[in-house]
Amino acid sequence: MSTSKTKDKYQIAVVPGDGIGQEVMKATIDVLDSLDIDFEYVYGEAGDECLEKNGTALPDETLDIIRQSDACLFGAAGETAADVIVKIRQEMKMFANLRPVKAYPHTNSLSDEIDFMIVRENTEGMYIADEEKYTDEGAIARRIITREAERRIIDYAFKYAVENNKSKVTAVHKANVLKKTDGLFKEIFYEVAEDYPDIATEDFYVDATAMYLITQPESFEVIVTTNLFGDILSDEGAGLVGGLGLIPSANIGLDGALFEPVHGSAPDIAGKGIANPIAMMLSAVMMLRYLGENDAADKFDAAILKLLNDANTLTGDLGGNASTMDVAGEVIKNINGE
């Protein structure tokens, strides 16, 4: 997923959003500032508070900032999430959503061997607002699957496997019921697989996959699937490894990329300074790899791993009593070798 490039200075769009998004973003920016990289942060508004203040959840100015930046860090959105993050993905043609599911120490993971990536198609499927409408009888949503978009995401999944030393790609669908749309997805999967003879392939129905994630999560390496299924399975994946506070994500397109934690705005704990910032931090690690700053990404990642191994500075969701900024301070100490 790296752009294989480095620059003297990066412009990063920073969109903290709502609730704990603002708190975990500050913690993450503090850590990024401890690295030997020159970042210029340009802040944009989005989310529930932005809607109340400006009459729109996603101002054009924020979209422009994202377009003009090397990458975007996004915190969280509340009730306006569909009007914000989905719109950004579509406006910026961010077709690939990457959600790693990885076991870390002291996080109540189902297995210590869990380490797989969910590659989710981001632009079609069920998540197209204009294709949902009320009818006289109730409401209807149209599911869209195109050859171009599905071939693109499936090829991306295989390329990811090759570049990250993964040996198998699993397609997830419901082709026994959705015979035309998911039937096409499955057909394209095996067409693309012919271009990658060294990568093993398999496909499962989404309901079976939901079970296999519980019974044999270690068997997965790269999962590729459509929009709705990927959304659901990635939250199940979070449950395997200790919760949403540990799951980062990336949205990758031809013209830009956005990195965000999978968790929401968590209004019940917002403003208390106790939110777990690790998912946001891991999202920043993914951003560094996208920018080609792999040494810095390795250093940041190792500092987080040390914090989790030491288990002395954990937030409440992981059984500790540390604050959000306590975690940031400890990660910075680890980066500096203190």
Q: Is a pLDDT exceeding 70 seen at residue 34?
A: yes
Q: What is the mean pLDDT of residues 317-333?
A: 95
- Phi first, then psi, for residue 255 (nearest 5°) are -120, 10
Verify that 134 and 207 share a domain, yes or no. Answer: yes
Strands 39-43 and 10-17: parallel
Question: Residue 309: which domain range?
Answer: 1-94+244-338
Verify that 231 and 315 share a domain, yes or no. Answer: no
> Is 290 part of the annotated catalytic residue set?
no
Active-site entry in 207, 295, 298, 310:
207
Provide the domain count of the chain: 2
For residue 4, name the pLDDT band (cuts at 50, 70, 90). very low
- CA 104 to mean position of chain CA atoms: 17
Structure token digits, residue 76: 């969280």
CATH number of the domain where residue 215 is located: 3.40.718.10
Verify that 262 and 325 share a domain, yes or no. Answer: yes
> Is 174 part of the annotated catalytic residue set?
yes
Verify that 224 and 143 share a domain, yes or no. Answer: yes
> Is 231 part of the annotated catalytic residue set?
yes
Distance CA 44, CA 62 (A): 5
Q: What is the mean pLDDT of residues 273-277?
A: 95
For residue 87, name the pLDDT band (cuts at 50, 70, 90). confident
Final residue before a domain boundary, out of 240, 256, 278: 240
Percent of the chain at pLDDT above 70?
A: 98
For residue 130, name the pLDDT band (cuts at 50, 70, 90). confident
Tally helices (H) and strands (E) across the chain. 12, 12
Q: Report the pLDDT value the prediction gives residue 80, as an integer from 0 to 100.
A: 92
Verify that 207 and 263 share a domain, yes or no. Answer: no
Verify that 234 and 265 share a domain, yes or no. Answer: no
Active-site entry in 235, 301, 306, 333:
235
Active-site entry in 182, 231, 317, 326:
231
Q: Is a pLDDT exceeding 90 seen at residue 6?
A: no
pLDDT tens-place string over residues 166-200: 999 999 999 999 999 999 999 999 999 999 999 99
Strands 248-252 and 96-102: antiparallel
Q: What is the mean pLDDT of residues 320-334?
A: 97
